Amino acid sequence: MLFILLGAFLLYVGAEALVRASVSLATRAGVSALVAGLTVVAFGTSAPELSVSISSALEGKSGIALGNVVGSNIFNIAVILGIAALIHPLQIHLNVIRRDIPIMIVSSGILLALIATGTVSALAGVGLLASLAAYLFFTVRLAKKESRPADEIPSLLTKHWLLDGGVLLVGLAVLIFGSRLFVDGATSLAKSLGVSDAIIGLTIVAAGTSLPELATSVVAALKKQSDIAVGNVVGSNIFNVFCIIGATSVVTPIDATGIELRDSLTMLGLSLVLLPFALTGRRISRMEGLVFCGVYAGYVFFLWPR
């Protein structure tokens, strides 16, 4: 339990440094708040999931590696967007509705299909990484055509991009160390409670590695920066499937037998529900946020062993 708490703390500290430095570097490059949320912030806050999944898979803990991603995607939509919407209704950019949420739904469907086969091979991983490259290419290409208002430009972290880069590297190192502690603690806890690696990955590990996304979106909601709050979650979910599952399966094939159809269907279902919620006035209301939180509470209730 001490390893879990210390690991979660280091994950948060490392991700905070990584996100701040990444946003600062993106600002210097002239990237909009929405694009930064979908790419730099989303990928930065997903770094814990990446390090946890790869290290778990290398240690033969495929249940934690895959459950971490599925659980994180569920947690991101149901809890993070739910809490952020409860704090302040989230305005949804039209581009997110037309492009990014549908891509997130497709990525969830692809992962569901891979889980149904019982394994995620190295070849499938290459395909997922290629999909990520295509998504990034078109997102950046479209970003160059979009202008951003001056009030959307965040402040710089330091006075020089080299200092931002140094903070980014330190944050990444802390993330890797924290993820190692977290996986060790979660595995020990699973054995002591008689709970499977898959369930631990779907709940405790998923929630712990999603702390950076939670902190980022909550702060963004408090500051009424909906683009960052929403883009962070949607971009993270896309990154989790295309990059984390892709990179992990290239390193070592992932055994998907520990993840039940119920879990992957919950992930896909929440992704599908997000689209009509976003279409109603192009916003996620407090009531819709409450619905998301209620769905997650019910999911964990039925998932956790008695």
Q: What is the pTM of this model?
A: 0.80
Amino acid 154: pLDDT: 56
Is the pLDDT assigned to residue 128 strictly greater than 50? Answer: yes
Band of the pLDDT at 112, cuts 50, 70, 90?
A: very high
Whole-number percent of the chain with pLDDT over 90? 27
Amino acid 298: pLDDT: 92
Cα dist from 35 to 29, 101, 257, whole Å: 12, 14, 35
Amino acid 43: pLDDT: 74
Amino acid 150: pLDDT: 47
Beta strand pairing call for 90-91 and 283-284: antiparallel
Looking at residues 32-42, what average pLDDT do you find? 68
Looking at residues 204-210, what average pLDDT do you find? 76
Amino acid 158: pLDDT: 67
Looking at residues 14-41, what average pLDDT do you find? 71
Closest alpha carbon to 211 in 103, 98, 72: 72
Render 195-262 in DSSP notation, one character per residue: --HHHHIIIIIHHHHTHHHHHHHHHHHHTT-HHHHHHHHHHHHHHIIIIIIHHHHHHSPEE-TTS-HH
Amino acid 269: pLDDT: 95
Amino acid 219: pLDDT: 76
Amino acid 246: pLDDT: 92
Render 137-189 in DSSP notation, one character per residue: HHHHHHHTT----GGG-PPPSSSSHHHHHHHHHHHHHHHHHHHHHHHHHHHHH
Average per-residue pLDDT for the chain: 82
Band of the pLDDT at 147, cuts 50, 70, 90?
A: low
Whole-number percent of the chain with pLDDT over 70? 90
